[in-house]
């Protein structure tokens, strides 16, 4: 009789985040993965969510769809949420050099650009999502009839789903900062701990996929769609940013007080506002994103900033000292965390290096935003064109990456042109 406890060979799940924020990759036996690399077809950068193939720049369609190489460090495997499995997060290389379409490489480029100024970017990511029940005739909201804003416990989460996510995150070494019910039910805010920018994005990438897979195996869909239902609050991605100086201190520690903004703070804020319209093409990358982004919402629609002001796109924290930070509020979790944070870092860096003019602070009254300032596009198509037109910003992120991204996202917008709201939600539902 076979031994039921016989050791199973451990497999390595090699993952990377593409421009659609999908966790692509492959499983490898541990002995094969020990080489630290694997091939994958460039064609993954030539398709939309519906697998429509686009002749997008850099995707190799006219070259016969050759392979690129996933490179990873076997000494840096992460614990998986599945048995007998480890996870490797890969960078993508082509002909021995970093592949221009790799979002994680774009983030590393942004981090290094800041380090040349003696500053190491630190990031905290706050994601919002709805829990939906997967039923035979579609998706419906998870029943949380006693839910309330900033709630915890069984009235807000009767099945203990957030406990499942938290426990699995702990087992995987993903550091949770907080989880709570958000404004609408069944909406939750899931926040990870502050960390170095690359580590923070790796954690968020794994956390998002872990949480979605853990709930899906139990009959639920954790939807990070910005607006999965019409008459509910939108879900966003808030990106918190600060910098560690060469002495290990927060470089914004005393630089964001009212009437006492440092050169670093002024530069970052001015860069985020000057490139605000272009940022929308990356931070709000789906057709559905523009149901959330409205002039009267607390969503970062207007290119504005303020101290502890949730109506502004750029919010300066109340905290000073080591907790001082700049929060950007316009994005949503359909964006790749790597590309989103790279974009925020590059916009802030352009402002710091060029010292753009800083607009006046926005009024505190959240019901009366400053409607004279620039704002995000009204659609994915418009935001993509605003992104493409901001050549300095595109050059900072990477021309090859943005050319490919623009082509794929334009095709996505075309696919959904004229579709009903239900058809648009169905298109995205199981991917975001």
- Gap between the Cα atoms of 316 and 386, Å rounded: 26
Q: Which two tokens stand for residue 238?
A: 């808030």
For the ranges 141-150, 193-202, 394-403, the lowest mean pLDDT is seen at: 141-150
Q: Are 241 and 125 in contact (CB under 8 A)?
A: no
Residue 270 has pLDDT above 60, yes or no: yes
- Gap between the Cα atoms of 129 and 368, Å rounded: 27
Percent of the chain with pLDDT over 90: 79
Cα separations in angstroms, 126 against 98, 107, 118, 145, 333: 29, 18, 26, 24, 9
Beta-strand relationship, 91-94 and 67-71: antiparallel
Residue 184 has pLDDT above 90, yes or no: no
For the ranges 218-222, 254-258, 305-309, 357-361, the lowest mean pLDDT is seen at: 254-258
Question: What's this model's pTM, rounded to 2 decimal places?
Answer: 0.94
Instruction: Tell me what the mean pLDDT of segment 397-401 comes to.
Output: 97
Residues in the chain: 432
- Gap between the Cα atoms of 68 and 99, Å rounded: 8
156: Cα within 13 Å, side-chain hemisphere = 18
Instruction: Tell me what the mean pLDDT of segment 319-323 comes to.
Output: 80
Q: Are 195 and 121 in contact (CB under 8 A)?
A: no
What secondary structure letter does DSSP report for 192? E
Confidence of residue 321 (pLDDT cuts 50, 70, 90): confident
Q: What was the pLDDT predicted at 5? A: 45
Q: What was the pLDDT predicted at 365? A: 64
Residue 430 has pLDDT above 70, yes or no: yes
């Amino acid at each position: 009789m076979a031994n039921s406890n016989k050791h199973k060979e451990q497999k390595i799940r090699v993952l990377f985040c593409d421009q659609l924020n999908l966790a692509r990759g492959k499983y490898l036996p541990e002995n094969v993965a020990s080489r630290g690399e694997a091939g994958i077809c460039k064609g993954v950068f030539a398709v939309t969510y519906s697998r429509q193939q686009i002749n997008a720049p850099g995707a190799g369609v006219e070259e016969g769809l050759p392979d690129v190489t996933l490179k990873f460090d076997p000494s840096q495997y992460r614990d998986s949420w599945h048995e007998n499995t480890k996870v490797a997060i890969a960078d993508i290389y082509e002909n021995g050099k970093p592949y221009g379409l790799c979002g994680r490489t774009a983030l590393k480029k942004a981090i290094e650009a800041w380090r040349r100024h003696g500053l190491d970017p630190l990031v905290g990511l706050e994601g919002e999502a709805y829990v939906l029940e997967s039923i035979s005739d579609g998706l419906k909201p998870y029943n949380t009839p006693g839910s309330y804003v900033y709630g915890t416990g069984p009235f807000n989460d009767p099945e203990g789903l957030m406990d499942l996510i938290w426990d699995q995150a702990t087992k995987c070494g993903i550091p949770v900062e907080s989880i709570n019910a958000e404004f609408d039910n069944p909406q939750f805010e899931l926040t990870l701990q502050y960390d170095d920018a690359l580590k923070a994005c790796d954690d968020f990438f794994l956390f998002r996929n872990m949480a979605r897979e853990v709930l899906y195996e139990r009959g639920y869909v954790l939807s990070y769609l910005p607006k999965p239902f019409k008459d509910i609050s939108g879900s966003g991605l808030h990106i918190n940013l600060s910098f560690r100086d060469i002495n290990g201190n927060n470089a914004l520690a005393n630089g964001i007080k009212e009437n006492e903004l440092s050169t670093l703070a002024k530069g970052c804020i001015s860069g985020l506002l000057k490139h605000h319209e272009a940022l929308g093409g990356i931070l709000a990358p789906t057709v559905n994103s523009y149901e959330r982004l409205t002039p009267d919402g607390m969503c970062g629609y207007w290119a504005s900033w303020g101290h502890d002001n949730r109506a502004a796109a750029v919010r300066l924290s109340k905290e000073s000292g080591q907790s001082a930070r700049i929060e950007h509020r316009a994005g949503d979790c359909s964006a790749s965390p790597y590309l989103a944070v790279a974009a925020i870092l590059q916009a802030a860096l352009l402002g710091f290096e060029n010292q753009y003019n800083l607009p006046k602070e926005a009024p505190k009254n959240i019901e009366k935003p400053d409607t004279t300032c620039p704002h995000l596009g009204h659609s994915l198509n418009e935001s993509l064109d605003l992104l493409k037109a901001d050549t300095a910003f595109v050059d900072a992120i990477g021309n090859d990456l943005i050319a490919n991204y623009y082509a794929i996202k334009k095709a996505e917008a075309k696919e959904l042109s004229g579709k009903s709201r239900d058809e648009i939600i169905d298109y995205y539902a199981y991917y975001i």
